[in-house]
Structure 1
Amino acid sequence: MNLKKKVLSVSLSSLLALGAVSAVAIPVGAVGEGPGAGNGSIQTSILHTYESMVDYLKTQDGKQEAMELEVIGQTVKGRDIYLAKYISNPNNPTILFLTQQHGNEQLTTEGALEFIKHLGTNKTKSVLDNVNIMVIPMLNADGAMGDVNFSLDNYLADGDRHLTRYNANEVDLNREHAKATSDMEVEVKALHENVFEKYEIDYMIDLHHQGTTSQTEGELVSGSILHPTNSQVKPEVLEGSKKLGAVVYNAIETTGWGHIGKYNGGSGENIGRNGAAVRYDISTLLFEMRGMSDHYIESYALGQKSNGYLIRQTITTLDSAVRAIADGSIESADTSFWDTLPTQASRPGEESDE
C-alpha cells in the first residue's frame, strides 16, 4: 500500500476526555478488587474476532490520511498479521505497541483499536508531526481465535470461541526471541524480519495480561511494569526503558483507579522485552494488565465487568507514552521511582504469565 500523500496532524493530549471513550467508563470498585472469575461472567463473544478486527482496521485506514496498513506476514493458519503505521517523518522517534503475543490476552488489543480510532480525530493538534507510531494489534491471531492444533476443552470462557496463550503449534511466542529468525515460529519471524529489522524503532511497549491475584502491600494491582533485565542491554537502552516506564507509571497512578506494581519477570533474551532491547537496541517496557480473557485456571480469567477499566488503562498507557515522546518530556522523566516500586507478589496458586 502506498504512503498517503496528505498527513493528518492530530494530538492525543485530551484523548481520554473524548466522548467516545466514555463507552469504557470505570466501574465502581474496579481498581484492584475488580470482578474475578467467580463473580463475573467470562465472555468471548463481546471481543473482536480476527475478522472484525481486520474490518475495523481497514475502515480506519480508509478514514485516516495519516494511517497506513501493512501486512507483515501470516500466522501458522494463514491469517494476515497487520501493522498500523503513522509515519510522518522517518527521522522522528518511533514507538511500537505490540499486543497479543499471547492470544488469550485481548483487552490490550481492544484498547489499541480504540486508540487507533482516536488517532484519526481532529480534536487537537500536532502529535503525529513529532512521533511515529506503529501498532500490531494481534500478533497471535490463531490463538486469539482458538484455531489451534490442540484441545481447549478445559478453558473457562463462554461465547463462540476460546482464546489460548499459545499459537496453533502450542508454542509460547514470547519465548522465541533469542532464536535465529529462520528457526522462529512464523508469527515471531514476521515481527523480527518485517518490523524490528525494517524500521528504526526507539521504543516498544509489549502489552500482556497477568492473573487476577497479584498484589503489592496487600492491595491487588491493576497492572505491572518491567524494563528489560538482560545483562547484555546497553546502559542507554535500559535508561530509555526506565524513562518510558516512568511516563506510564505516573499516568496510571494519578488516575485514582490504577495501582501498578513491578513485575517479577525473567532475564532471558528469549523474552520479547529483553530480546528486542539486546538485538535491536530498542528501549522496551512490559505492561501486564490484570486478568485474562480466557484460561483454564480460574484465578487467571477476569469477569467482563472489569473490561472497561482495563481497556481504559491500555488507552492511558499508549496515550501517555506517545505524548511524552512527541513533546520530549520523556527525556526528563524521573526514573528513581524504580528503586522503591514494590515488586508484586502472587497470592497462592498463581504462576508467571509474561
Structure 2
Amino acid sequence: MKKQLVSIALTGTILAGGSFADMAFVQAAGNGPDYQGHETINTSILHTYSEMVDYLEKQEKKQTYMELEVIGKTVKGRDMHLVKYMQNPKNPTILYITQQHGDEALTTEGALDFIKQLGTGKTKGILENVNILFIPMYNADGAMGDVNYELEDYAASGDRHLTRLNANGADLNRDHEEKTQPETQALHNNVLQKYDIDYMIDLHHQGAQWVKDGKYVSGAIFPSHPDHTAPEVLQGSKQLGAVVYDAIEPKGWGHLANYAGKGSAYDNGISVYGLAHDYGISTLLFEMRGTADNANDFEVLGQKSNGYLKKQAVIAMDSAARAVADGTINEKDISFWDDLPVQEERPY
C-alpha cells in the first residue's frame, strides 16, 4: 500500500468559526496585542528572499546531510528552493511548506531556525530515521511585495510590503486543482510527483482576531476533509494534529483551537484537502495567529509576539519530525479532536 502522507498546513486558507456576543478577552500568555494601527509594523526584521537564499546556501555548506534543489521559478523569476535531508529513501518523509501566502512570514522564520537546528546535536538521531523536505517562502513574490498590483493601503512601514497573493493576484492555496500558476506547477511536478512523501506540514498564519475560551489563540489546527479522504489517511492527519497539539498546548503561551470544526466547503484547490485527496497525503492545517502585513488592521499582529510564534513553528516541525522518526505518531490518540473547541471570531 502506498505510504501514508500527512500534511500540516498552517494557513489563513479555509473559512473558520463565526462571530459571537461581546465578552471579556484575555491575552493568552505570550500573545501580544493585535495591531489595530497602534504601533509601527517593521518588515525589515524579516528575512528578504535574497537573505533567505544566502542563509540556506551557508547552511548547506555547514551541514553534512542538507542539500538544496531548485524546483522551479515564481512569476517574477525567483528560484524556488527545496531543502532536502534524504539519508534513506526507505524512511518515511515529511514535507514542510511555508508562506503559500506571502504575508504569513513567521512560518518561514521558524523554518529557517529549524533548518539550522537540524545541523546541530539538538536533533541527534532524527535524520537517520526520517527524510525531511522544506519549501520555504513558497510565494516569494508576494513575500517581497513584488506584484502586479498596488499595496499602498498595507500596514507595514518602509519599502517592503508582504501580500497574500502571488504576483498575478492568484491565491496559491486555491490553485492545487487547476495548477495555473508556476509556483503550483513546480510543487506538483517536481516535489509531490517526484518524492514519496508521507507527511506534510503547510505553515500559515490567520488573522489576529480569533479566540477560544475568551483568550486569543496562538494557533489553530485542522485535519483533512472527512468526506473526501481515505480513512487511513484521515487517521494519520489527526494523529499528526495530536502530536503538534500535545507539544504546544502545555506551553505557557500555547493556546490552540480547532480551525473549522467538521470542515468548511470542500475545495480540492486547497492543500489540506487536495493533497490528501489526490496524493493520499494525510494533511493537517496549522494556522498561527496574525499576519505580518495586510490592508486590514485586524489581520495584523503586533510584533511583541514574534518570538513566541517563531518558537511555535519550530516546535510544530520538530515534534512532528521526531514522532515520525521514532514511530510514536502511529500511537497517538485522536479522541481529543472530538472535544477541541472551534475558534470563534472576536467582533470588531
Scaled by the length of structure 2, what TM-score is found? 0.89
Among residues 31, 34, 52, which one is paired with 2:32 in the alignment? 34
Q: 1:233 Cα shift?
A: 1.0
Q: 1:238 Cα shift?
A: 0.4
Give the total of aligned pairs.
Answer: 318
Residue 224 of structure 1: aligned partner: 220
Counterparts of 1:198-347 in structure 2 under 5 Å?
Answer: 198-229=194-225, 231-264=227-260, 266=264, 267-347=266-346
Question: For the residues of structure 2 that align with 1:158 and 1:260, how far apart are their CA atoms?
Answer: 30
Change (3 A) 1:230 1:78: farther
Question: For the residues of structure 1 that align with 2:220 and 2:123, how far apart are their CA atoms?
Answer: 30
Check the 8 A contact 1:32/1:220 in 2, yes or no: no
Residue 13 of structure 1: aligned partner: none
Question: For the residues of structure 1 that align with 2:30 and 2:209, how far apart are their CA atoms?
Answer: 9
Among residues 174, 185, 202, which one is paired with 1:189 in the alignment? 185
Q: 1:40 Cα shift?
A: 4.0
Residue 17 of structure 2: aligned partner: none
Check the 8 A contact 2:106/2:310 in 1, yes or no: yes
Question: For the residues of structure 1 that align with 2:339 and 2:320, how far apart are their CA atoms?
Answer: 21
Question: For the residues of structure 1 that align with 2:205 and 2:48, how far apart are their CA atoms?
Answer: 18
Counterparts of 1:122-133 in structure 2 under 5 Å?
Answer: 122-123=121-122, 125-133=124-132
Check the 8 A contact 1:149/1:168 in 2, yes or no: yes
Change (3 A) 1:67 1:164: same
- Return 5+ residue gaps in structure 1 as ranges: 1-28, 350-354
Question: For the residues of structure 2 that align with 1:51 and 1:322, how far apart are their CA atoms?
Answer: 27
State the one-letter code of the partner of 1:326: A
Report the 3-state secondary structure (helix = DSSP H, G, I; strand = E; otherwise coil) of the residue aligned with 2:45.
Answer: coil
Change (3 A) 1:176 1:124: closer
Check the 8 A contact 2:31/2:305 in 1, yes or no: no
Change (3 A) 1:187 1:252: same
Q: 1:213 Cα shift?
A: 1.1
Deviation per residue, 1:204-259 (Å, 9 max, x gap)? 11111001110112111000000011622110000000000000000001112100
More displaced 10-residue stretch of structure 1: 226-235 or 238-247 = 226-235
Deviation per residue, 1:162-205 (Å, 9 max, x gap)? 000000000100000112x4xx2110110011110000111111
Q: 1:31 Cα shift?
A: 3.2
Q: 1:122 Cα shift?
A: 2.6
Q: 1:35 Cα shift?
A: 2.3
Percent of aligned pairs sharing the same letter: 60
Check the 8 A contact 2:30/2:308 in 1, yes or no: no
Question: For the residues of structure 2 that align with 1:219 and 1:273, how far apart are their CA atoms?
Answer: 26
Report the 3-state secondary structure (helix = DSSP H, G, I; strand = E; otherwise coil) of the residue aligned with 2:188.
Answer: helix
Report the 3-state secondary structure (helix = DSSP H, G, I; strand = E; otherwise coil) of the residue aligned with 1:334.
Answer: coil
State the one-letter code of the partner of 1:215: V
Check the 8 A contact 2:30/2:252 in 1, yes or no: no
Higher relative contact order (CA 8 A, sep 6+): 2
Residue 73 of structure 1: aligned partner: 72
More displaced 10-residue stretch of structure 1: 298-307 or 38-47 = 38-47
Report the 3-state secondary structure (helix = DSSP H, G, I; strand = E; otherwise coil) of the residue aligned with 1:299.
Answer: helix
State the one-letter code of the partner of 1:37: Y
Q: 1:288 Cα shift?
A: 0.3
Question: For the residues of structure 2 that align with 1:236 and 1:32, how far apart are their CA atoms?
Answer: 36
Across the aligned residues of Structure 1 and Structure 2, the Cα RMSD in angstroms comes to 1.3
Q: 1:159 Cα shift?
A: 2.6
Question: For the residues of structure 2 that align with 1:298 and 1:269, how far apart are their CA atoms?
Answer: 30
Report the 3-state secondary structure (helix = DSSP H, G, I; strand = E; otherwise coil) of the residue aligned with 1:114.
Answer: helix
Question: For the residues of structure 2 that align with 1:94 and 1:36, how far apart are their CA atoms?
Answer: 36
- Return 5+ residue gaps in structure 2 as ranges: 1-26
Q: 1:33 Cα shift?
A: 4.3
Check the 8 A contact 2:165/2:172 in 1, yes or no: yes
Residue 110 of structure 1: aligned partner: 109
State the one-letter code of the partner of 1:34: G
Question: For the residues of structure 1 that align with 2:220 and 2:136, how far apart are their CA atoms?
Answer: 20
State the one-letter code of the partner of 1:45: S
Change (3 A) 1:218 1:124: closer
Question: For the residues of structure 1 that align with 2:123 and 2:328, how far apart are their CA atoms?
Answer: 18
Question: For the residues of structure 2 that align with 1:328 and 1:144, how far apart are their CA atoms?
Answer: 35
